[in-house]
A = this chain, B = another copy of it.
Amino acid sequence: MLVELDRGADEPLSLQLERALRDGVRSGALRPGTPLPSTRALAAELGVSRGLVVAAYSQLGAEGYLRLGRNAPPIVAQGIGVAAEARTLAADPEWPHNLRPDLPDYDAFPRAEWLKSYRAALRRAPNAALAYGDVRGSAELREALAAYLGRVRGVVGEPEHTFVCSGFAQALSLIGGVLVRSGRRRIAVEDPSHVVIRAVAARTGLETIAIPVGGDGIDVEALAAASPDAALVTPAHQFPTGVVLAPERRARLLAWAEKTGAVVVEDDFDSEYRYDRPPVGSLQGLMPERVVYCGTASKTLAPTLRLGWIVAPGELVRPLVDEVLYTVISPPRLEQLAFADFLLRGELDRHLRRMRLRYRRRRDALVRELARQLPELEVRGLAAGLYLEAVLPHMLNEERVLAEARARGVGLAGMSEHCAEAVRDPALLLGYAVAPEPSLRRAVAVLADAVRAAG
């Protein structure tokens, strides 16, 4: 290993190690596929505690630089380097065939209705609304949200417990900061789960503990056995597997939280889209004093609005206020007021009704085209959300398929880039929200080419 630690430096050894490894991967000195020493071996070599190495590996695993395996040495991840760098800078390259699983149909953003709400907000806002204001966000929006979330998601919360923020990443940054400051250091995360979201959690100082996800959602027994201080879950629609947390697991998860005093963070990112039955209500509604509820307008309206919200248990309200004050001072207000107007006029409900029909048609079209052009793929996770899982036959290499598809202009994701320690069937995550039906047909034809080329 090329790591040298400087014991005289101000920088903590853990950060030095993390940085040396990150730079090594970035510079190419540590090549993709290279196994790293075990935590025990590296700790002995460097003369540091094993916990320090565990922490550094865990951070880099969460950031996607390393692939961590239980009882196996970590491996330098594929696909880091120029491509990943470009991807993080321009989060949305213009894919000719856009099957990205994390995007809504932003072409359908209701510009005229939004402008109407923005104009109304700007006309009605008192002058004082243009200053700094309540660090939780505008009172108007927090009231409108409390009503909307109660009605649509069964969320139990007063405007006083509601925070407006700029989407789920910021919500988790804020909550992570509060957890760390309250002495809660270990957070269970679903495995697989969104790789960037795991990195967001890790960056707050939390240690992320990967808990397997099965067909019924997160393994609550394994979670309880790991005895974390908090858990981050997507109960209504798991990302990326698409499963729904089964009723008895919901109950067991809440019983665990109640018994241990742990905090459950509920990421309710796209539950508005359920096609087979009404969406399951939020976990938060069952135990508001132990669950922090988080939602977003990124999947219902457009990601760039950066509008998200938190409904926090009473004990976390004051620490969250501090966290907001000492990181962003307060959230912006004009678009909040516009969104409040948009909610109160029923525009979001109308938009969602339109989009649910549209997405169901696109989902059906994608399933049909996959069955016709790529019958060897097994399709899963159709009940909800904006994407499906297409499991590859075993002889196919997921990374090869992704590379061939991207080279042909198909935007998509793979299952394994979202796995921490989990080993799952190689699979593609295909979104059906962005592309209209004729484009979906063409995209599947190009994808079929890519699959054949990777075969």
B-binding residues in A (CB < 8 A) = 9-11, 15-16, 18-19, 63, 85, 88-92, 94, 103, 106-107, 109, 111, 114-115, 118-119, 122-123, 127-136, 166-167, 169-170, 173, 177, 180-186, 196, 199-200, 203, 229, 302-307, 318, 321-322, 325-335
**A to B CB contacts below 8 Å, 5 in the list:** A16-B183, A91-B134, A91-B325, A106-B127, A167-B329
**Which of B89, B115, B185, B199 is in CB contact (< 8 Å) with A10?**
B185
Chain B residues near A115: list those with CB within 8 A: 118-119, 122
A104 to chain B, nearest CB (A): 9
Chain B residues near A318: list those with CB within 8 A: 85
Chain B residues near A332: list those with CB within 8 A: 166, 304-307, 332, 335
* B88 contacts A135, C-beta separation under 8 Å: yes
- In the bound complex, how far is the Cα of B11 from the Cα of A184, in angstroms? 7
* B334 contacts A170, C-beta separation under 8 Å: no
* A91 contacts B326, C-beta separation under 8 Å: no
**Which of B107, B304, B306, B330 is in CB contact (< 8 Å) with A328?**
B306
* A303 contacts B200, C-beta separation under 8 Å: no
Chain B residues near A330: list those with CB within 8 A: 91, 303-304, 306
A142 to chain B, nearest CB (A): 12
* B304 contacts A129, C-beta separation under 8 Å: yes
Chain B residues near A181: list those with CB within 8 A: 15, 18-19
Extra contacts besides A10-B186, A306-B328 (10): CB < 8 Å: A11-B183, A92-B133, A94-B128, A109-B130, A111-B122, A166-B332, A200-B327, A203-B326, A305-B332, A305-B334
- In the bound complex, how far is the Cα of B195 from the Cα of A149, in angstroms? 36
Chain B residues near A183: list those with CB within 8 A: 9-11, 15-16, 19
Chain B residues near A335: list those with CB within 8 A: 332, 334-335
* B131 contacts A90, C-beta separation under 8 Å: no
A29 to chain B, nearest CB (A): 16
Chain B residues near A88: list those with CB within 8 A: 135, 321-322, 325
* A11 contacts B199, C-beta separation under 8 Å: no
A169 to chain B, nearest CB (A): 4
- In the bound complex, how far is the Cα of B165 from the Cα of A328, in angstroms? 10
| A303/B122 contact (C-beta < 8 A), A166-B166, A183-B16 known | no
* A328 contacts B170, C-beta separation under 8 Å: yes
* B166 contacts A304, C-beta separation under 8 Å: no
- In the bound complex, how far is the Cα of B177 from the Cα of A173, in angstroms? 12
- In the bound complex, how far is the Cα of B181 from the Cα of A63, in angstroms? 14
* B185 contacts A326, C-beta separation under 8 Å: no
Chain B residues near A19: list those with CB within 8 A: 181-183
* B169 contacts A327, C-beta separation under 8 Å: yes
Residue ID in chain B nearest A90 by CB atoms: B134
* B329 contacts A196, C-beta separation under 8 Å: yes
A32 to chain B, nearest CB (A): 19
- In the bound complex, how far is the Cα of B166 from the Cα of A335, in angstroms? 13
- In the bound complex, how far is the Cα of B170 from the Cα of A325, in angstroms? 10
Chain B residues near A328: list those with CB within 8 A: 166-167, 169-170, 173, 306
Determine which residue in A127, A128, A129, A131 has the highest number of CB atoms from chain B within 10 A of its CB, and name it.
Answer: A131
| A304/B91 contact (C-beta < 8 A), A167-B329, A200-B326, A200-B327 known | no
Chain B residues near A305: list those with CB within 8 A: 332, 334
- In the bound complex, how far is the Cα of B119 from the Cα of A119, in angstroms? 9
- In the bound complex, how far is the Cα of B437 from the Cα of A147, in angstroms? 43
* A127 contacts B114, C-beta separation under 8 Å: no
Chain B residues near A16: list those with CB within 8 A: 183
Chain B residues near A170: list those with CB within 8 A: 327-329
User: What 4 pairs across the A-B complex have the smallest Cβ distances?
Assistant: A11-B183, A306-B332, A91-B132, A106-B130
- In the bound complex, how far is the Cα of B115 from the Cα of A73, in angstroms? 57
